Each structure stands twice: as C-alpha cells, then as structure tokens.
Amino acid sequence: MEYPNTHLEKTDLSEIAKLEEENSKQIKKIKNLEMQIKLGGNLAKELERQKSLAIEAQEEVKKSIQYSSRIQGAMLPISLPEDLTIATIWKPLNVVGGDFYVIKDLGETILIAVIDCTGHGVPGALLSTLTGSIFDRLIHDDNVSTAGEYLTSAHNLISNMLGQHLDSKAKSNDGFDGSICLVHKKTKSLTFAGARSSIFLLQNNGEPLELKGNRKSVGGSRTPRDYPFDTHELNLGDQIVVMLTDGIMDVMSEEPNLTLFGKDKLLNILSLWNDKDPDRIINNVQVALDNHRGTQPFRDDMTLVAFRLN
C-alpha cells in the first residue's frame, strides 16, 4: 500500500497558490492599465473639448474686437469741410485703439482735434469713446469757445466721470494727450492749445515751426481741476498744419541700432516735401516710417492729420 506524498502535495498546492496570487496581481495590473487607458482617453477627449471651447471663445473675442473696430471707425469724420484740404493717417496698434481725431465745421470756425487716450487696444478704445462723447458735448456748450477752454472743460469732465479728484488718494491718471486747433475762416487765422502735445506749421519759407502746448495731460489727478490750458494764435494763410500723436515719433528701427523715428526725422521730412499738398506729406511720412522700421512692429497707435485752408 502506497501512502500519498503529503510534502509533494503541499508543495504543489503552495505553487498553485503562488501562481493564483501572481495571476490575480497581473489581472489587477491589467485592469489598472485598462482604467488608465480609459481615463487617458477621457482626458484626451476633455482636453480636446476644452481646446475647442478656447478656440470658440477666441473667435468670439476676435469678432467682437473687429466689430468694435467698425464702430470706432464710424466715429471718425465722414464728411470733411469744403474750406479745408485734409489728409490723415489713423492706425490703431491692436485693431482698436486709444487714438482718434475730430474734424467739425462749426460755422465761422472749424474744429480739428487729434487725441491720444491712455493705453491702446480695448482699454484705449473705451476711453476714446468716452472722450469722443465729451467733445460732442463741448461742441454744443456756449461757454466753451477757445482751444484752451476745450481742453480745460474736457479735463474737468473726465476727472468728474472717473472720480479723479474725489480724494487725495485717487490714483487714476486716465485721460489723454492731444491738440486742438480752431481755424477761423474769415481771418484765416488759427488758435491752438495742446496737452503734452505740439503741432507743426509748414511755413512759406519751407521751414517747419513747432508750436508747443502745455506740459499737462487732460484727465488724471496730477493735473489740477480747472487747469488753464493756454491758447496760442497765429496767422494761417495757406500754410499747412500737421497734428499728430506720439506713436508716429515712437516708431523704432531694426536691431542692432535701435533708434526712434523721432522729431528730427519728422521735421526733415516735412521740410523736404513742403509743396502745400497734405496728401503728399502723408504719403512721404508713411514711406519714411516704413523705411525706418524695416521689419520692426509698430509700438503704439498712430494718428497724423495734415490740413490747409483752400
């Protein structure tokens, strides 16, 4: 009679248990891998969904800004006074911007304003819309008649609207730099006021003359309420006036010698091509800017208005 080899059976059972345990571990690993694959697939789908949402949101923002650009463009003058020959450059840096200009026939006088609001892009465009509405209001204000009064009144209105002088801790310095010209038709004279801005008169002798404004901005807590902006008067005749924002002179050249376009280059262009044609002046300034910057991108909104009496 044979007796069972219990040691062998125990060994076999032990090996089987180990194999079953190892098999169970492998099954768990497989399940974990399957779960990770499933989660990875879900994650990939979620990432793709989020990407699609981001693209849709980006497209909506892009469409909104483009629509805003049409609105801002519509705010610019459409019909121009017959008494003037006018040419303009208006180039927002980011589709919309803080620069704009006003040309309004008021009967005996013509108002021309070139304005550079704080910032560019959407914030600048919002402030330019506010400032544009302020000018519409001031044009119909019988208490405002001189170029300096336009800037002083605009300063007070912006300060009130933005609460810039409510207390000594006000830190808002939003507002604008810019210039105002009033052309007086009968006398063929011009009055001018500037807020950290100059205009250039192309004299009959071919030399451009810079007329400087006050060294204060319109709006902001740094400019006192009721600040009296100076009004300058001069004989205009058939001379050309050039008004611009600082984005023109801030155009940068290519590396390695980074230099600003600057006032000297602008004055040189104006003096070389003074043939009493505002369109020619605009074209030559644009060509000079493009030659100066090469492949460098623009850095700011740009506006230039050149005009003369007919």
Torsions phi, psi for 292 (to 5 deg): -70, -40
Mean pLDDT of 13-27: 67
Same domain as 229, residue 99: yes
* Domain housing 125: 81-309
Same domain as 157, residue 294: yes
pLDDT in tens, 79-125: 899 999 999 999 999 888 999 999 999 999 999 999 999 988 888 99
Same domain as 261, residue 132: yes
Same domain as 165, residue 226: yes
Residue pair 251/289 in contact by the 8 Å Cβ criterion: yes
Residues above pLDDT 90, as percent of the chain: 59
Q: How confident is the model at residue 18 (pLDDT cuts 50, 70, 90)?
A: low
Q: What is the number of alpha carbons within 13 Å of residue 30 lying toward its C-beta?
A: 6
Residues 6+ apart with CB under 8 A from 273: 280, 281, 284
Q: How confident is the model at residue 151 (pLDDT cuts 50, 70, 90)?
A: very high
Q: How many domains does the chain have?
A: 2
Residue pair 269/288 in contact by the 8 Å Cβ criterion: yes
pLDDT in tens, 62-84: 888 888 888 888 889 988 999 99
Q: How confident is the model at residue 1 (pLDDT cuts 50, 70, 90)?
A: very low
Classify 31 as helix, strand or coil.
helix
Residue pair 197/158 in contact by the 8 Å Cβ criterion: no
Q: What is the pTM assigned to this prediction?
A: 0.82
Same domain as 57, residue 93: no
Same domain as 113, residue 60: no
Same domain as 237, residue 275: yes
Same domain as 267, residue 240: yes
Mean pLDDT of 174-195: 97
Tell me which residue has tokens 């911007």: 97
pLDDT at 70: 87
Mean pLDDT of 45-72: 81
